[in-house]
Amino acid sequence: MRIGILGLLHESNTFVTRPTTIDNFRDAVLLSGDAIRPAFDGAHHEIGGFLAGIDAAGETAVPIFVARALPAGTIDAESFDELTRQLLDALDDAGPLDGLLVAPHGATVAANWPDADGHWLSLVRKRVGDSLPIVGTIDPHANLSQQMVDSVDALIAYRSNPHLDQRDRGLEAASLLIRTLRGEVRPTMAATFPPLAISIEQQETGAPHLAPHYDFANAQLQQPGVLTNSIVLGFPYADVAEMGSATIVVTDDDEALARKLADELADRLWQHREELRGSLLSVDEALDRCSDLQPPICLLDMGDNVGGGSAADGTFLLQGLLDRPEFWSFVCLYDPEAVAAATQAAPGGSCELSLGGHSDNQHGEPVRRECRVVSLHDGRFSESQPRHGGMSKFDQGPTAIVATGNVTVMLTSRRMVPFSLEQLRSCGLDPSSFDILVAKGVNAPLAAYREVCPSTLRVNTPGSTCADMTQLTFHNRRRPLFPFDADASFL
C-alpha cells in the first residue's frame, strides 16, 4: 500500500506583533517529495515515526510535503496561501494513495484562516475524498477545532510535555492507519471541549497536578474497543475561538463509547480546574529563592518563551541578575546587531553593547553594558538525545559569547529555542559551571536542563507569553472560559 505523509506545523502566537512568513519556513523546514526522508529518517519527530512505522509494516511510504517554522506570530495571508498551494500541488502529484498520515500542529493561525489547521486538513479531505483513511498527530498545545476532528479519521496528541514521545506517537499513528487499511479496525472519534484554558505553567505532564489525569487516560486505554485517546492541553497565546483544552477518544466503531469516555476525561480536567490555574513568581522572588537552592538553578523565563513564539530578547531576568553579583549566571539573547558589534571587537576585545529589548516593547528595555568578547561561533549544533520538538540539528546563526559583570551572555543572530545543552557546549561553555542558567521557556527546556540543574523555578516575567493569560486582551476566545469566567459551568 502507498501511504502519503503530509506535515504543516507552526505554533502561532497572535500576541506577537511580527508576522510569520514563508521565509521563516524556508529557514527551518520546507520540503517536498524525496527531500523529506533524509531530513527525518531516524528523527525523534513524528514524521520520523511515520516513516519508521510504514517501513516496519512492509508498506510504501510516500513523503509528499512537510513544512515547519519556529513558533512566532500569525502567518501572513499570502504566505499561508502559498504553503497550502504547495501542499495541495504536491498531494496532486503524489499519485494514487491508499491512506494518509498527517502532522498538523493544532495551534496554527493564519491572518485569513484563524483555524488554519482545520482549514488545510479540510482541503486535504476534500481533495482525497471521504473514503481515504487519514490519521494524524497533533501537539498537546493544539487549540482543537471540530473542523480538525471532522476532516480526519483519528488524531493522536503527544502524551508528554516536554515533548519526548513525538516519534512514538508517529509510530502509533502509522500502526493505526495500517490496521485500518487492512480492515482490522474502524476508527471512530469523539472530541469534547470543556470551557477550560490551562495555564502554560501547569502543563508539565509529569507534574503531580497533571500526571493523575494521564493515569486516568491510560486506564481508559485498557477498556475493550478503545484504540487511543488524548488530552489536548491547549495554547493560551492564540486569540481564536478554539483556544482552550479538549479531549479525544478513538474507538473501534463505537461512537457512543468514544463520546462517553471523551466526556469523562474532560470532566476530570474540569473538576480539577483550580489546580490548573498556576502560581506566579516574580523576578525578585525567584532570585531570593535561589540563595537557598543547590546550583545550577534553571530559571524559566516564561514571559519570553521562545517555544511559544516570543521575542527571545527579553531583558527582565538579565537586569535582575546583573543586580545580584553573588550569582554567576548565563543568559541567551537574540540580538543580531550585538553579534555584529562583538564580531568587530573580536575575541579578547571589549565594546559597549545594547543588549536585547529590540524586538518590541513587551520584553524590557535594552541593557547597555561594557562587555568583553569571549568567543565567536557559527551557531550550528546537534542534539543526539530525544528532546522537546523532536529535532536534532539546530542553527542559531553567527553567535557571540560575551561577559559583563557576573553574567555570561550568548548573543545569537537567529531566535533559538533552549531545547538542548549542546547550544552551550558547542560554544565552549560548561552548563554545570554556572550558579544560574536562564532558559527562555516554560516546560520545553526541562528535558535538557534537568540533566545539570537540580532546581528549576518558573518566573513570571512580562512578555507576549506571560504566564498569567488573564493579563492578555482576547477578542475572539470562547465564552464562557475558565479562568477568565469564574462562573463557567460544564456538563
Whether 193 and 206 have beta carbons less than 8 Å apart is answered as: no
Q: Which residues contact 224 (CB under 8 A, 6 or more apart)?
A: none
Containing domain of residue 206, as a range? 2-276
Neighbouring C-beta atoms of residue 450, cutoff 10 Å: 13
Work out the burial of residue 395: count CB atoms within 10 Å of its CB; fewer than 13 is exposed, 13-18 middle, 19 or more buried: middle
Whether 211 and 205 have beta carbons less than 8 Å apart is answered as: yes
88 and 115 within one domain: yes
312 and 231 within one domain: no
pLDDT in tens, 326-373: 999 999 999 999 999 999 999 999 999 999 999 998 999 999 999 999
* Total count of residues recorded for the chain: 491
CA 441 from chain centre, in angstroms, equals: 10
pLDDT in the model for residue 82: 98
Q: Evaluate whether residue 423 is within a structural domain.
A: yes
184 and 38 within one domain: yes
252 and 184 within one domain: yes
pLDDT in the model for residue 224: 98
Q: Evaluate whether residue 482 is within a structural domain.
A: no
Q: Choose the final residue of a domain: 276, 297, 317.
A: 276
pLDDT in the model for residue 397: 97
Considering the entire predicted model, what is its pTM?
0.95
Q: Evaluate whether residue 95 is within a structural domain.
A: yes
| Cα–Cα distance, 152 to 140 (Å, whole number) | 17
Total domains in the fold of the chain? 2
pLDDT in the model for residue 388: 75
Residues of the chain scoring pLDDT < 70:
none
Whether 351 and 371 have beta carbons less than 8 Å apart is answered as: yes
